[in-house]
Amino acid sequence: MANVTDQVNEGEGNQTAARAYNDAQRRFVKSQQVEENAREAERALDGPEAQQLADAEAIGRSHMAEEDPAVHRDYHEKVKTRAHEIWESEGRPHGRDREHWQQAEAEVKKS
């Protein structure tokens, strides 16, 4: 495989890397180790690694949500709406906007 510094910029999407990945996947399937690895993964889900795997999945899902602009906008809108509700419920006090925003963020993250 070519060194990263030897690769030419192929624009949007690296065709060489994609081809190498696809070739590696084909070799893996042909090696007939798929079933063995699937059983090993299933044992990991039931074993001591289960919590670590669940934590890693949660982190991955949170990163995925952060990368989607629509999800980010929706989250921001929910926090903004909740912060406004908190502000109004407390009699519209002056100078507590940061506190209200932080409270709203905590509440939205829990939901």
Give residue-wise pLDDT tens across range 52-110: 888 888 888 777 656 666 667 788 899 999 999 999 999 999 999 999 999 999 999 88
* Same domain (yes/no): 57, 18: yes
* Same domain (yes/no): 23, 59: yes
* Same domain (yes/no): 26, 61: yes
Give the residue numbers spanning the domain of 83.
68-111
- 100 burial (CB, 10 Å; 0-12 / 13-18 / 19+) is buried
Query: According to the model, what pLDDT value does residue 75 have?
Result: 86
Q: Is residue 7 assigned to a domain? A: no
* Same domain (yes/no): 63, 49: yes
Query: Between these two residues, 74 and 6, which has the higher pLDDT value?
Result: 74
pLDDT tens, 15-41? 888 899 999 999 988 888 888 888 888
- Would you state the structure tokens that stand for residue 12, as one six-digit string? 């949007």
Q: Is residue 49 assigned to a domain? A: yes
